[in-house]
């Protein structure tokens, strides 16, 4: 089975190809027994697996029942306010809301999950609700991509398991294809989006009016993401084969064909965004994450489901390019499609976490294990996978909307290896969800993984995918009511039966392409992997790959990753990276010379790098030099980032909150450093008089031994801090006077000093935007005594909060922040492009200040430097649109000089924010405004 899949038994014999795919799955499982039985592998007991499986079921029940009780028939549940999210009735979230179409999204998305979790009675009830209540003819503009994978896929997945249950004879005997009829109705509503000369669909369509103007209010877009246009074939082809109506599969194939034709022919990569009319690439960066991810996934899975060799050959062509350019084990970094040796950004997004699972289906296990382990270490550091994180594994975008991609890869790796290690990974995911994301009305997305603050959001994919993969991870075959190997997962984890490959075949599958000659035969060897090759007779195979990566996240410099790469001994040594460069290393200087880069020591102690491409040893070396210089340019923005502090947390711990309300706060560049105090500062809050805090406090008895609340304005932040400290306050919170400001939309705010020495300020100071400040002040009006915890991140939110000491033991020490060292030298790089044919790059960095090595910043000594934190991508970077258009984490460092505004006119009653909490503190009740 190690030969090319396009050979005997390929597309000409779909039944044989399907059987071979099942044999592959069985082969992976049989090979997994080698690892599962390995000595010292720490196999999880059957009882523990059953316990965790039952826990997944309980978690699903908690989320699903709250959706049905508090949100249905709305599209989504808002788990903090215990109500449904109805589009148009809540503040717009931009592109995120394009998934909402007033068609009970979460229920449809969850249909086949109910059957996987053996909740067949609930499934039968859910199908009846969908048939009775769901309207697909709403005058609303929706995303073609999201509607396809969630709603069309949900209806088809529901239909697939419904007919399976009906055939078994116990459930769904009344079912007559109603879900399939709705799927066909929806398919026709999506077809107008394909009215382009290219065949690429418009990104949005009106469910009622299609693209007609002005009623449709859409149809003027020019661009779409590659994944948006390339993630249709499974659902559309399944719809065609279920119904015998070929038009859906034809449209999806045409879109895929166009994307393939528009690939960059030299690199065989595709960009993130494409013009749907001209086919020009709008964004020319390429990766495996947001904007492209499921395009690659659907090429391979389309071969599996449809048996068309062309999809497999295209996937193999792209995969070869991915492993050649994007994969830098264990990292997966975006590159430019025309210059694939040049990185497009220095951070990764969380959506690429699906890729190890896809590599398992490809049969390329080793890099799957490597990347998965890297992602797991990031999760262990931050509790969840941030929406984006840097190459040294720090937060780039802090949100985490409970995405399931990592759980997906964990499941597939366990299926492939049988290694009980992945059961422990799944156990960690379960524990983190319950500890940090669980709220009384469901599970809330993380607004900031650094502070533990929540967002009033529970996307439909959380129920559709997360619990499905987690349950399957711990379930035994006898726990299932059907054979999961008879189905393929869509990108939304919906189930489509493999027998569709032999039903209503409307398209020719014969391979007529001749454009794959650039690939050598070895590229196809892993199509149907031989388990003997996948798993050598070494029971510690997977562990030997993971072990070098175990501590890489916590190391001070990711050069450890490079050493891991070299230790694998696979392929030539990668070119010199800017982060590894040492000016005192003769070997590095020789590499620079080969790349056409000269190093000049200036009289003032700085070092200047100059590149002349014409002086490089070869064109490839010149390209490496250009990439090296580009990376060095990125360091020019590093100095501005060095003094930035991560956000802090204000946690309301008194009755009736008990730590369940966490507010994201901006730090101060003076006073107590909360990151160095594990316990934080805990105390009751009191409003200072004057409220501005800009003169001597007139109510010292009220603020003494308490945390003083002040309004922004009239004087410097440091002056406010000194005044309340003199009055005996143990901390301070400054509340923004800008009506409606919120950490949801505004960049992180940092309070700067007053230009003087601030070592005399010992107490912690935090900044809250207006929206978050309202919550505390309204709580005071309602409950009078309100106690908060100021810390670097939220502590455990449970009833133990009731028994915590009234004050943190750290309050007595109030240690000052250590003084940062001054620069002993700096590195200068200059970038310019002279006229004429000779290409030249000169780059410089001015005044890089070395700081304490423990701060994970820049360390410079003896002309050796190691970049351990890169927050800014290079100048050619553009932000990802597939991650819900969330803004990059930014930071503002400001002094306080805004005018005073009378607070009394702005305070709202607590009832508008929080209703009464249950007496047993087990659940939130309804809140009338989405304030959290």
C-alpha distance from residue 331 to each of 47, 256, 367 (Å)? 36, 27, 10
Owner of token pair 């589009």: 87
Q: Is 118 exposed, middle or buried (0-12, 13-18, 19+ CB in 10 A)?
A: middle
Bridge partners (DSSP) listed for residue 867 = 858
Residue 303 gets the label, from left (phi > 0), alpha (psi -120 to 50) or beta, of alpha
Owner of token pair 């990753």: 561
> Which stretches of 83-200 are assigned E, i.e. beta strand?
83-85, 141-143
DSSP state of 637: G
Distance CA 828, CA 871 (A): 19
Distance CA 183, CA 483 (A): 24
Q: Is 387 a catalytic residue?
A: yes
Residue 54 has, within 13 A of its CA and on its CB side, a CA count of: 6
Question: Exactly one of 90, 313, 405, 841 is catalytic; which is it?
Answer: 405
Coil vs helix vs strand at 226? helix
List CB contacts of 613: < 8 A, sequence separation 6 or more: 596, 622, 625, 626, 838, 839, 840, 841
Considering all CA atoms of the chain, what is the largest pairwise distance in Å, rounded to the nearest integer? 89
Distance CA 202, CA 186 (A): 16
Residue 204 has, within 13 A of its CA and on its CB side, a CA count of: 21
* Nearest of 743, 752, 769, 679 to residue 718 by alpha carbon: 752
Question: Exactly one of 75, 90, 112, 146 is catalytic; which is it?
Answer: 146
Q: Is 261 exposed, middle or buried (0-12, 13-18, 19+ CB in 10 A)?
A: exposed
Distance CA 862, CA 824 (A): 10
Distance CA 353, CA 368 (A): 10
C-alpha distance from residue 841 to each of 163, 614, 619, 625 (Å)? 64, 11, 15, 9
Helix or strand holding residue 775 (H, E): helix 770-783
Question: Exactly one of 112, 308, 364, 387 is catalytic; which is it?
Answer: 387
Q: Is 146 a catalytic residue?
A: yes
Question: Exactly one of 293, 624, 787, 882 is catalytic; which is it?
Answer: 293
491 is in an annotated binding site: yes
Q: Are strands 765-768 and 731-735 parallel, antiparallel or unpaired?
A: parallel
* Overall size of the chain counted in residues: 932
Q: Is 820 a catalytic residue?
A: no
- Dihedral sign from CA coordinates of 569, 572, 575, 576: positive
DSSP state of 850: P
Owner of token pair 């903090």: 80
Query: Using H for helix, E for strand and C for coil, what is the string for 514-582?
Result: CCCCCCCHHHHCCCCCCHHHHCCCCCCHHHHHHHHHCCHHHCCCCHHHHHHHHHHCCCCCCCCCHHHCE
C-alpha distance from residue 251 to each of 91, 246, 254, 418 (Å)? 35, 9, 5, 40
Q: Is 565 a catalytic residue?
A: no
Contact call for residues 385 and 378 (beta carbons, < 8 A): yes
653-663: buried (b, 16+ CB within 10 Å) or exposed (e) per residue? bbebbbbbbbb
Distance CA 756, CA 411 (A): 56
Q: Are strands 661-665 and 840-843 parallel, antiparallel or unpaired?
A: unpaired
Bridge partners (DSSP) listed for residue 251 = none
Q: What are phi and psi of 768, to 5 degrees?
A: -115, 135
Annotated binding site for Ca(2+): 491
Indicate which residues carry an active-site annotation. 146, 293, 387, 405
Annotated binding site: 491
């Amino acid at each position: 089975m190690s030969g090319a899949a396009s050979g005997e038994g390929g597309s000409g014999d779909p039944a044989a190809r399907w059987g071979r795919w099942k044999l592959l799955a069985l082969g992976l499982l049989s090979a997994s027994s080698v690892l599962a039985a390995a000595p010292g592998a720490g196999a999880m007991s059957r009882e523990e697996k059953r316990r965790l499986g039952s826990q997944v079921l309980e978690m699903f029940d908690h989320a699903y029942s709250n959706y049905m009780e508090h949100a249905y028939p709305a599209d989504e549940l808002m788990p903090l306010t215990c109500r449904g999210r109805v589009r148009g009735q809540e503040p717009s979230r931009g592109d995120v809301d394009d998934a909402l179409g007033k068609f009970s999204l979460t229920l449809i998305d969850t249909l086949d999950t109910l059957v996987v979790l053996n909740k067949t009675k609930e499934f039968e009830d859910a199908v009846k609700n969908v048939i009775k209540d769901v309207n697909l003819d709403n005058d609303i503009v929706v995303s073609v991509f999201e509607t396809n994978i969630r709603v069309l896929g949900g209806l088809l997945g529901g239909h697939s398991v419904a007919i399976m249950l009906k055939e078994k004879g116990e459930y769904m005997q009344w079912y007559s294809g109603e879900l399939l009829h709705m799927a066909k109705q929806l398919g026709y509503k999506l077809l107008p989006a394909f009215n382009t000369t290219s065949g690429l669909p418009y990104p949005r369509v009106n469910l009622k009016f299609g693209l007609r103007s002005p009623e449709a209010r859409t149809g003027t877009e020019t661009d779409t993401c590659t994944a948006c246009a390339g993630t249709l074939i499974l659902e559309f082809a399944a719809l065609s084969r279920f119904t015998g109506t070929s038009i859906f599969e034809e449209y999806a194939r045409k879109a895929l064909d166009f994307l393939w034709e528009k690939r960059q022919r030299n690199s065989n990569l595709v960009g993130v965004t494409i013009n749907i009319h001209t086919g020009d690439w709008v964004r020319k960066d390429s990766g495996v994450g947001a904007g492209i991810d499921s395009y690659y996934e659907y090429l391979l899975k389309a071969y599996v489901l449809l048996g068309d060799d062309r999809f497999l050959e295209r996937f193999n062509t792209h995969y070869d390019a991915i492993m050649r350019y994007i994969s830098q084990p264990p990292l997966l970094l975006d590159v430019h499609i025309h210059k694939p040796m040049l990185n497009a950004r220095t951070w990764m997004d969380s959506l690429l976490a699906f890729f190890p699972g896809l590599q398992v289906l490809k049969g390329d296990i080793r890099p799957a294990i490597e990347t998965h382990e890297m992602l797991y270490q990031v999760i262990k550091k931050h509790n969840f996978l941030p929406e984006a994180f840097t190459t040294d594994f720090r937060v780039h975008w802090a949100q985490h909307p409970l995405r399931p991609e990592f759980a997906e890869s964990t499941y597939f790796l366990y299926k492939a290896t049988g290694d009980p290690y992945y059961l422990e990974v799944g156990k960690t995911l379960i524990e983190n969800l319950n500890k940090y994301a669980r709220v009384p009305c469901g599970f809330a997305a993380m607004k900031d993984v650094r502070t533990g603050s929540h967002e009033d959001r529970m996307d439909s994919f959380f129920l559709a995918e997360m619990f499905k993969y987690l349950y399957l991870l711990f379930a035994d075959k006898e726990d299932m009511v059907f054979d999961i190997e008879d189905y393929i997962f869509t990108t939304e984890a919906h189930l489509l039966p493999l027998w569709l490959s032999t039903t209503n075949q409307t398209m020719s599958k014969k391979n007529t392409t001749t454009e794959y000659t650039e690939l050598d035969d070895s590229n196809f060897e892993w199509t149907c992997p031989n388990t003997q090759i996948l798993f050598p007779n070494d029971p510690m195979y997977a562990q030997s790959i993971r072990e070098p990566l175990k501590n890489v996240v916590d190391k001070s410099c990711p050069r450890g990753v490079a050493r891991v790469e070299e230790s694998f001994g696979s392929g030539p040594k990668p070119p010199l990276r800017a982060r590894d460069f040492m000016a005192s290393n003769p070997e590095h200087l020789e590499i620079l010379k080969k790349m056409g880069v000269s190093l000049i020591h200036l009289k003032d102690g700085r070092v200047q790098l100059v590149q002349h491409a014409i002086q490089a040893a070869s064109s490839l070396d010149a390209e490496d030099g250009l990439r090296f210089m580009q990376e060095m340019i990125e360091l020019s923005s590093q100095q501005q980032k060095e003094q930035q502090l991560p956000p802090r947390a204000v946690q309301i711990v008194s009755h009736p909150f008990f730590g369940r309300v966490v507010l994201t706060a901006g730090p101060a560049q003076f006073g107590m450093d909360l990151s160095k105090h594990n316990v934080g500062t805990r105390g009751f809050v009191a409003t200072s008089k004057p409220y501005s805090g800009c003169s001597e406090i007139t109510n010292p008895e009220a603020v003494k031994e308490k945390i003083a609340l002040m309004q922004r304005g009239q004087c410097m932040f440091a002056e406010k801090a000194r005044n309340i400290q003199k009055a005996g306050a143990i901390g301070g919170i400054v509340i923004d006077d800008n009506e409606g400001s919120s950490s949801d939309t505004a960049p992180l705010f940092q309070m700067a000093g007053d230009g003087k020495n601030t070592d005399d300020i010992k107490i912690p100071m935090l900044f809250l935007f207006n929206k978050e400040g309202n919550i505390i002040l309204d709580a005071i009006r309602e409950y009078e005594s309100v106690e908060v915890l100021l810390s670097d991140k939220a502590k455990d939110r449970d009833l133990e909060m009731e028994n915590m000491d009234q004050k943190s033991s750290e309050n007595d020490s109030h240690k000052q922040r250590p003084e940062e060292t001054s620069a002993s030298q700096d590195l200068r790089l200059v970038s310019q492009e002279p006229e004429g044919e000779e290409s030249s790059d000169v780059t410089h960095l001015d005044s890089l200040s070395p700081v304490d090595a423990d701060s994970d910043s820049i360390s410079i000594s003896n002309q050796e430097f190691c970049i351990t934190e890169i927050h800014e991508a290079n100048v050619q970077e553009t932000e990802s649109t597939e991650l819900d258009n969330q803004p990059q984490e930014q930071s503002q460092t400001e002094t306080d000089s805004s005018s005073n505004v009378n607070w009394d006119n702005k305070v709202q009653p607590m009832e508008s924010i929080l209703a009464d909490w249950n007496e047993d503190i087990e659940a939130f009740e309804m809140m009338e405004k989405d304030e959290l």
